[in-house]
Amino acid sequence: MRFKRKHNVNQQKYSGVWPVMLTPFDERKEIDWPSLEKLIEWYLAAGVHGLFADCQSSEMFFLSDEEARKLVRFIVEKVDGRLPVVASGHTANAFSHQSEQLISMSETGVDGVIMISNRLALAGESNDKALETLQRLTAQVPVSVDLGIYECPYPYKRLLSEETVAWCAQSGRYTFIKDTCCDLTMIKRRLELAKGSRLHLANANSQTLLASFQAGCQAFSGVMANFHPDLYVWLYENWQAEPEKARKLSDYLSTAALVENLDYPVCAKNFQQSIGNFHTIACRVRDSSGYLQTFYPEAINGMVRLGQDIRGYLEL
């Protein structure tokens, strides 16, 4: 089933702020659909430019293929063309299963299907092997759907080689790289390789984000958009016009992003619960039962309070 799209399809389609979506679960660790709908509307109210569904933050390695497809169809239907949606669900090991996952995801109504770089070859195997797998998988996915790649850190991180980035840019199929290299020099090189193509680089790293925008990076897609997406939207849309405010905001976002080490995604789910979007902090990826007994919630609360001060400074 293909859903109608209302957003403007152009070269800027994959730019802006793209939250990596959480998956809310109920007490039985089944998908909590009402909470998911609230989350979608919260992202959209913040002014984000696109959504990345069924990714690592969505706990995709802990969803069945059927659950993943149902999850993404629900998101696409609720978004109803108000902005573009991409999704992954690329978790399998066997090539035939990977191909099946990607083709099925392409039929959910998403604008783009995102491959996972560490699924292209085993840890220790060559970049040539990864590129060969990528080329074979690319040929499997219908040309009606855009493609992207995510350097997912689980179960291991495989950074894309220059040859792979160049091939993706030249192929005409690839529009989105979720970049997790956290290296400004490498980001600049990738931007050069993608120059003049459809390929957009979405930096996941808050500490290099402003500098990457200044270098020509077109998007942000990181976990901290699950806490304050509106601040990332402001940075993306205003960094050129208001450089001093952008610098101060960048300092806050860079420091605040350290909280992703405080038992993510549990900390993000607890935040979403605190603002009324989620009913539970249940996860499949880790045990969340002891989270509230740690100092983590108050650390998040402190980050949120400082974020309110920043909003005042920005006159939001």
Six-digit token pair at 135?
A: 């080329």
Residue with tokens 């690319």: 138
Q: Dihedral sign, CA of 55, 60, 66, 70?
A: negative
Percentage of the chain beyond pLDDT 90 is 96
Q: How confident is the model at residue 12 (pLDDT cuts 50, 70, 90)?
A: confident
Which tens digits make up the pLDDT trace of 157-195? 999 999 999 999 999 999 999 999 999 999 999 999 999
Which tens digits make up the pLDDT trace of 287-297? 999 999 999 99
Q: How confident is the model at residue 6 (pLDDT cuts 50, 70, 90)?
A: very low
Please give the pLDDT value at position 223: 98
Distance CA 122, CA 143 (A): 27
Kindly give, in sequence order, each residue whose CB lies less than 8 Å from that of residue 297, ignoring residues fewer than 6 positions away.
267, 270, 291
In this predicted structure, the answer to whether residue 11 has a pLDDT above a threshold of 90 is no
What is the mean pLDDT of the segment spanning 243-270?
A: 98
Which tens digits make up the pLDDT trace of 25-73? 999 999 999 999 999 999 999 999 999 999 999 999 999 999 999 999 9
In this predicted structure, the answer to whether residue 9 has a pLDDT above a threshold of 90 is no
Percentage of the chain beyond pLDDT 70 is 97
Q: Which segment of 8-17, 52-61, 103-112, 215-224 scores lowest on mean pLDDT?
A: 8-17
Please give the pLDDT value at position 218: 96
For the chain, the average pLDDT equals 96
Q: How far is CA 35 from CA 39, 102, 179, 300, in A?
A: 6, 26, 28, 21
Please give the pLDDT value at position 208: 98
Q: How confident is the model at residue 4 (pLDDT cuts 50, 70, 90)?
A: very low
